[in-house]
Structure 1
Amino acid sequence: MSNPQLLMIEDDARLAQMVSEYLTQSGFGVNHAMDGNTGMDLLQQHAPDLVILDLMLPDIDGLEVCRRIRSLPGPLSKVAVLMLTAKGDPMDRIIGLEIGADDYLPKPFEPRELLARIRAVLRRRAEPGAASAAATVMRFGTLEIDRNARTVTVGGALADLTSYQFDLLAAMAERAGRVLTRDQIMEAVRGRELEAFDRSIDVHMGRIRAAIEVDAKNPKRILTVRGVGYVFAKQQD
Structure 2
Amino acid sequence: MHRLLLIDDDEALAPPLAHYLARFDFELSAVTRPSLALARLAAERFDALILDGMLPEMDGFAFCKQVRGGQDPWREIPILMLTARGDLTDRVVGLELGADDYLAKPFEPRELAARLQTILRRTRLGPAAAAPSPLLRFDGVDIDTTRRRVTTAAGPVELTSTEYELLLMLAKAPGKVFSRDEILNRLRGQEADLYTRAVDILVSRLRRKLDPVEALKTLRNAGYCFALPARGEEGA
Q: TM-score, structure 1 length as denominator?
A: 0.89
Is residue 48 from structure 1 mapped to residue 42 from structure 2 by the alignment? no
**SS at 1:180 equivalent:** coil
Cα deviation, 1:11-47, whole Å, max 9, x if unaligned, reads 1111222212211233211111011111111122112
Is residue 91 from structure 1 mapped to residue 85 from structure 2 by the alignment? no
- How big is the alpha-carbon RMSD for the aligned residues of Structure 1 and Structure 2? 2.1
Match of 2:160 in 1: 162
Match of 1:226 in 2: 220
Is residue 12 from structure 1 mapped to residue 7 from structure 2 by the alignment? no
Looking at structure 1, the residues matched to 105 and 190 of structure 2 have their Cα atoms a distance apart, in angstroms, of 17
Deviates more, 1:45-54 or 1:19-28: 19-28
Match of 1:177 in 2: 175
Cα deviation, 1:38-84, whole Å, max 9, x if unaligned, reads 11111221120000000101111101111121133253111000000
Q: Is the 8 A contact 2:79 2:101 kept in 1?
A: yes
Q: Is the 8 A contact 1:6 1:29 kept in 2?
A: yes
**SS at 2:178 equivalent:** strand
Structure 2 segments unaligned to the other structure (5+ residues): none
Q: Is the 8 A contact 2:92 2:198 kept in 1?
A: yes
Structure 1 segments unaligned to the other structure (5+ residues): none
Task: Give the drift of 1:128.
Answer: 7.2
Looking at structure 2, the residues matched to 185 and 128 of structure 1 have their Cα atoms a distance apart, in angstroms, of 23
Match of 1:67 in 2: 65
Report the AA paired with residue 230 of structure 1: Y
Is residue 192 from structure 1 mapped to residue 167 from structure 2 by the alignment? no
**SS at 1:14 equivalent:** coil
**SS at 2:196 equivalent:** coil
Match of 1:34 in 2: 32
Cα deviation, 1:147-181, whole Å, max 9, x if unaligned, reads 11111111151112101110110010001011111
Match of 1:123 in 2: 121
Q: Is the 8 A contact 1:40 1:65 kept in 2?
A: no
Looking at structure 2, the residues matched to 111 and 148 of structure 1 have their Cα atoms a distance apart, in angstroms, of 33
Relative to 1, partners in 2 of residues 1:27 and 1:114: Cα closer, same or farther, differing over 3 Å? Answer: same
Cα deviation, 1:203-228, whole Å, max 9, x if unaligned, reads 1111011111317xxxx320111111
Runs of 4+ with deviation above 6 angstroms: none
Cα deviation, 1:105-151, whole Å, max 9, x if unaligned, reads 0100000000010001001111775xx7x952111112111111111
Task: Give the drift of 1:197.
Answer: 4.7
Q: Is the 8 A contact 1:142 1:156 kept in 2?
A: no
Looking at structure 2, the residues matched to 35 and 184 of structure 1 have their Cα atoms a distance apart, in angstroms, of 37
Task: Give the drift of 1:95.
Answer: 0.9
Number of aligned pairs?
A: 228
Aligned sequence identity (%):
37
Is residue 25 from structure 1 mapped to residue 49 from structure 2 by the alignment? no
Looking at structure 1, the residues matched to 219 and 129 of structure 2 have their Cα atoms a distance apart, in angstroms, of 27
**SS at 1:122 equivalent:** helix
Match of 1:101 in 2: 99
Q: TM-score, structure 2 length as denominator?
A: 0.89
Report the AA paired with residue 153 of structure 1: T
